[in-house]
């Protein structure tokens, strides 16, 4: 279960600090799926990065299954990313020097949770069995995103974060990839928080939140 309370974050702008998040409150139950929408520049990615332990907040708390992420140091956040969180970004998710099979297994092996059968099953479900020996640069954008999803789910995280995972894909293939992700996330029982611009994609989620002026709207 994810609980975010009164989260603040500002960046250094040209004329002093610019507040991006101004007291975000949010609650995501285990196994729940949630879409995060908002205008460009509203702070969606920033929020996701803070929850994922990729950056640190100015104030407020983020609690994941009882652990206060904001209190962790660099190493603690790295361990959290490795063991409990999976992130899928819009692009460049993959490690260029490793082939598809190694990319899928990477986080799971790093976290010591590698399950060969599960990884194989994921590859099959994601339609990647013919591409396991290829390198990221040899794949199409959609294939790359499917590998990223496979990599994330292979590690069986309790929380999956996705930042416009299909933003670089056309509508059709975007929808297919997202459906696959939703189905697989449900199988693992993880919670999912995904940022998207597409209202139709947001419609597939159990809950929807809108970010405006640095706060959750309504």
Partner 1 sequence: MIRAGLTALLSHWIRRPFQLVTLMLGLATATALWSGVQAINAEARASYDRAARALAGPDRDTLVARDGGAIDQAVFVTLRRAGWQVSPLIEGRVPSPSGPLRVIGIDGFTLPSGDLPVTDTSEPGDVNMAFLTPPGLLLVAPGTQERLSNADDLPPRQTAEGIPPGVAYADIGIAQTLLGREGQIDRLVVTGPPSLTAPPLDEVAPALARRSAGGGNDIARLTDSFHLNLTAFGLLSFAVGLFIVRGAIGLAFEQRRGVFRTLRALGMPARTLLALLTAELLVLALVAGLIGVALGYLVASLLLPDVAATLRGLYGASVDGTLSLRPAWWLSGLAIATLGTAAAAAGSLWKVAHLPLLAPAQPRAWARASDRAMRLQAVAAVALLILALVLGVTGGGLVVGFTLLGALLVGAALALPIVLHSVLGLFGRGATGPLSEWFWADTRQQLPGLSLALMALLLALAANIGVGTMVSSFRTTFTGWLDQRLASELYLTAESEAQAEDLRAWLATRADAVLPIRSSEAQLAGAPAEVFGVADHATYRDNWPLIEADAAVWDRVAAGEAVLVNEQLARREGLWPGATLDVPGWADAPVAGVYSDYGNPLGQAMVGLDRFDALFPEAPRLRFGLRTDRPEALRTALIDEFGLSGANVTDQASIKQFSLDVFERTFTVTAALNVLTLSVAALAILTSLLTLATMRQPQLAPVWALGLTRRRLARLELLRALLLAALTFVVAVPVGLVLAWVLLSVINVEAFGWRLPMELFPRDWVWLGVLSLLAAGLASLLPAIKLARTPPNELLKVFAHER
- By CB under 5 A, tell whether 107 contacts Mg ion: no
- By CB under 6 A, tell whether 166 contacts ligand ATP: no
For β-strands 159-163 and 191-195, DSSP reports them as parallel
Give the other-Cβ count within 10 Å of 75's Cβ: 8
- By CB under 6 A, tell whether 92 contacts ligand ATP: no
* Binder among 19, 72, 111, 175 for partner 1 (CB under 8 A): 111
Closer residue to partner 1, CB minimum distance, 73 or 218? 73
- By CB under 8 A, tell whether 164 contacts partner 1: yes
Report in angstroms how near the CB of residue 150 gets to partner 1 at its nearest. Answer: 13
Q: How far apart are CA 106 and CA 115, in angstroms?
A: 11
- By CB under 8 A, tell whether 58 contacts partner 1: no
Residues that bind partner 1 in the complex, under the rule CB under 8 A:
11, 45, 49, 52, 54-56, 74-75, 78-83, 87, 89-98, 102, 105-107, 109-111, 163-164, 167-168
Residues that bind Mg ion in the complex, under the rule CB under 5 A:
45
């Amino acid at each position: 279960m994810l609980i975010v309370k009164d989260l603040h974050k500002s960046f250094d702008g040209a004329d002093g600090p610019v507040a991006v998040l101004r007291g975000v409150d949010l609650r995501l139950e285990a196994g729940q799926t949630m879409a995060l929408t908002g205008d460009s520049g509203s702070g969606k990615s920033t929020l996701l990065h803070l929850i994922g332990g990729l950056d640190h907040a100015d104030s407020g708390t983020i609690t994941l299954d009882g652990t206060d992420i904001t209190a962790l140091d660099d190493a603690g956040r790295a361990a959290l990313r490795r063991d409990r969180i999976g992130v899928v970004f819009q692009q460049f998710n993959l490690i260029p020097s490793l082939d598809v099979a190694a990319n899928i297994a990477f986080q799971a092996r790093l976290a010591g949770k590698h399950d060969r059968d599960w990884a194989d099953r994921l590859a099959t479900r994601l339609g990647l069995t013919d591409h396991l020996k290829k390198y990221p640069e040899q794949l199409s954008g959609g294939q790359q995103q499917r590998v990223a999803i496979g990599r994330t789910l292979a590690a069986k995280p309790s929380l999956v974060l996705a930042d416009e995972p299909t933003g670089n894909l056309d509508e059709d293939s975007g929808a297919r990839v997202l459906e696959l992700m939703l189905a697989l996330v449900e199988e693992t029982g993880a919670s999912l928080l995904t940022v998207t611009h597409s209202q139709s994609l947001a419609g597939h989620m159990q809950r929807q939140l809108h970010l405006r002026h640095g706060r959750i709207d309504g």
